[in-house]
Structure formats: structure tokens, C-alpha cells
């Protein structure tokens, strides 16, 4: 998986989250839920990397992204 450059859409192995994308120019992380909803967040690239490499993306999202 290449995650360098634009941080484009990355599908995730999660029952809760379909995938995520990151725009490094705006610092916008978008989390795409399996329900069809999309949530944008201002976040660092390291948060995006943490989400897409987490053993449980749903837990990572709940503990590190949601509500911040």
C-alpha cells in the first residue's frame, strides 16, 4: 500500500468504517462510514496513518478522532 503523496482514499477492514482519505494541503481527514455518512476532521497526517494502520480502525476512531 502506498500512502505517500496525497493520502488518497484507503479502504479499511472494519465493520464500522469503510475507509478514510487525507488531504495534506488542507489537513482534512475524511472518515467514510459503512452507513454512508462521511465525517471531515482537521487532523495531522500522523492521525490518518494511525487510523489506516490500526488493528481496530473503529476503536482508533473512537479513541483518537471522534469528538476532537
pLDDT digits 0-9 by tens, 45-58? 999 999 999 999 99
Inter-axis angle of helices 45-53 and 57-64, to 10 degrees? 150
What pTM does this model have?
A: 0.88
Q: Name the more confident of 4 and 8.
A: 8
Please report, for the chain, the start and end positions of each structural domain, with discontinuous segments joined by +.
10-64
Residues in Cβ contact with 57 at an 8 Å cutoff, skipping those fewer than 6 apart: 12, 13, 14, 16, 17, 20, 51
pLDDT digits 0-9 by tens, 5-62? 556 899 999 999 999 999 999 999 999 999 999 999 999 999 999 999 999 999 999 9
Amino acid at each position: 500500500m502506498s500512502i505517500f503523496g496525497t493520502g488518497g482514499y484507503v479502504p479499511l477492514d472494519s465493520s464500522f468504517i469503510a475507509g478514510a482519505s487525507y488531504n495534506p494541503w488542507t489537513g482534512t481527514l475524511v472518515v467514510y462510514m459503512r452507513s454512508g455518512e462521511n465525517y471531515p476532521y482537521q487532523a495531522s497526517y500522523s492521525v490518518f496513518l494511525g487510523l489506516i494502520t490500526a488493528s481496530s480502525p473503529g476503536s482508533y476512531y473512537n479513541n483518537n478522532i471522534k469528538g476532537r
